[in-house]
Structure 1
Amino acid sequence: MASKDCSKDDLLEDNRTDSGIDSYRSIVKSVEPREPSSDFAGPREKFSTVEERLDSAYSSSSITGESLSELVEGCTLSNVPEERTRSAELSEQEEDLLTTITEEGDTILHLAIIHENDFIAQQLIQLFPKEVLDIQNNLYQTPLHLATYLNLTDVVKSLVEKGVSLELQDQEGNTALHVACQHGQTECTTKMTTEVAPSKLVPVLETQNWRGLACLHLAALNGHHQIMKLLMKKGADLNIQEGTSGKTALHFAVELHDITSVKLLLSRGANVDAAMFNGCTPLHLAVGRQDATIANLLCQAGADMMLRNMEDETALDLANGNDDILALFPFDDIQISGRSVVGMKF
């Protein structure tokens, strides 16, 4: 009898917090771009960047995001030559403005990006040293995170060219590249992956957010095929397992019935027999979901039909009498009491 580990309705073990693909979709879809606020009170020890904040030279201020935003909207740096340095020639008023951090942890650059003021943002990027560009607000968002959320591709490009860190994670554990992969920001993804040396990009591609998802997982979960191709081209590990149930991008593609993603991953060499923590392979999932088309693709790619999960079930055990799926297995000549196995209801 098919276990609920790999059945159509519940493919995970009862003792796991992950309840299946729907929970993943609700998680990734629910994370929308947010303006920084001061009410974040999550467990700070969870964030690896908490000891790496770079705002020690900045003055904390009782100024609110709203009041400083008014300054941003009325601010102009057009009379500041690009070669001018803040320490040498900025006025005291400009110094105070540029070095103020709001109660929400935002610098003026964060606010310029939030207000989608490209001109001010670009001027500040040129003015500030890299260390300042990596300051994280109370939600652990860098300017790069915010520019990516808002799909400000020119700002993203300038930040990356200035050498900002791609490894910093926000309160959800997402890097800016995670954000781009989740929300389908193809151009932002391109700029972050092409302007960075492979040695610096690989750790980002392997980084998992607090839900155990790497960039490739998020792209697969949201069906962003072009982004998947970009990540693969840059050396993303096709078989990296997410942290809660051990699924690979191929498992996610199978669960979503995403034939395009399945074909793409298989063509690039994804492990067709990769096993989740409960032993289920992509073929187990395809058969459990009664998806004969994808099951056939997996079989054509050489999937091992005899692999067993932790419930000691093969994919055949989960077929539940589906003739289209049973026909994929080399057992159609077996007869029980004179009747062919194919067509019998179990």
Structure 2
Amino acid sequence: MYKTLINRCCKTLISFFYGLVLAQTSVAQVNQYQTENFLNSVKMNDVKAVKKALSDGISPNSMDAQGNSALAIAITEKSLDVVKILVDTPSIDLERPNLAGETPIMMMAYTDMYDLLVYLVDKRDVEINKPGWTALHYAATNGHMRVATYLLDKHAYIDALSPNGTTPLMMAARGGHIHVVKLLLDRGADLSKRNAMKMTAIEFAEQNNQSEIAIGLKSRWSKVYGKPYVN
């Protein structure tokens, strides 16, 4: 009798926990489906669908399988209307990096989303001087003069060092962005900086066939340091 009772209790408990697991699995599947739909709406710049998803409780910080947040996806896909919605959502994390360590403001600097970048800095107090790669590096990489000028006006570290010691000046020289190179030098960038590979901005220019910039930097080196440049 006792064995029968125990067996019944065990079966009841097993059934209960099995049902609980199924319920949790079902909820997880529903949540995943909702998240995927939300992120697809972000990609498509579907303002109506994004607003509805947010009002239904979807987190604006939802991420895809690659670790990209909804905001990062919107920036990458140039879904500008959705970007504007997301940055004003109260619970949004504006500092969250993707798996590559890129924050939204860095991505905006890279893609020249000037107005949105200014809004994040001026109105949302987003950090522009995080350690490692910075928004100024990214603006210099693609030669975005307005963004670089604005960041410098907001006291971006002009000689910010990436993890391997690369500066914004090196990235501007590498890309052949002569106007940004001049801007950085005029604002006080250190031409003598070397990265972990012992390369200066001059080597960056030379190795990427930016001969005009390399010649100009060597001339400036002679004037600043009173001697010719030697690798």
Give the TM-score of the pair, scaled to structure 2. Answer: 0.72
Structure 1: gaps of 5 or more residues: 1-55, 62-95, 307-313, 319-346
Judged with a 3 Å threshold, the aligned counterparts in structure 2 of structure 1 residues 190 and 299 are, in CA distance, closer, same or farther, namely: farther
| Contact 2:96 2:103 (8 Å CA) reproduced | yes
1:182 deviates by 2.4
1:133 deviates by 1.3
Counterpart of 1:156, as a letter, is V
Match of 2:121 in 1: 193
1:294 aligns with 2:221: no
Match of 1:152 in 2: 79
Counterpart of 2:192, as a letter, is D
Structure 2: gaps of 5 or more residues: 1-23
Match of 1:134 in 2: 61
1:145 deviates by 0.8
| Contact 1:151 1:185 (8 Å CA) reproduced | no
Q: Distance in 2 between matches of 1:146 and 1:284?
A: 34
| Contact 1:148 1:188 (8 Å CA) reproduced | no
Which structure features the higher share of helix residues? Answer: 2
Query: Aligned-pair RMSD on alpha carbons?
Result: 3.1
Match of 1:206 in 2: 130
Q: How does 1:1-346 map to 2 (within 5 A)?
A: 59-61=27-29, 100-102=31-33, 106-126=35-55, 128=57, 132-163=59-90, 164-197=92-125, 201-202=126-127, 205-208=129-132, 213-244=133-164, 246-282=165-201, 291-300=214-223, 302=224, 304=225, 315=229, 317-318=230-231
SS at match of 1:263: helix
Count of residue correspondences: 202
1:220 deviates by 1.1
Judged with a 3 Å threshold, the aligned counterparts in structure 2 of structure 1 residues 265 and 121 are, in CA distance, closer, same or farther, namely: same
Q: Distance in 2 between matches of 1:282 and 1:221?
A: 13
Q: Distance in 2 between matches of 1:255 and 1:270?
A: 15
| Contact 2:44 2:79 (8 Å CA) reproduced | no
Which structure is richer in relative contact order (CA contacts within 8 A, separation 6 or more)? Answer: 1
SS at match of 2:35: coil
SS at match of 1:296: helix
Q: Distance in 1 between matches of 2:56 and 2:187?
A: 43
Give the TM-score of the pair, scaled to structure 1. Answer: 0.50
1:144 deviates by 0.8
Judged with a 3 Å threshold, the aligned counterparts in structure 2 of structure 1 residues 142 and 207 are, in CA distance, closer, same or farther, namely: farther
1:107 deviates by 4.5
Q: Distance in 2 between matches of 1:124 and 1:194?
A: 28
Counterpart of 1:158, as a letter, is I
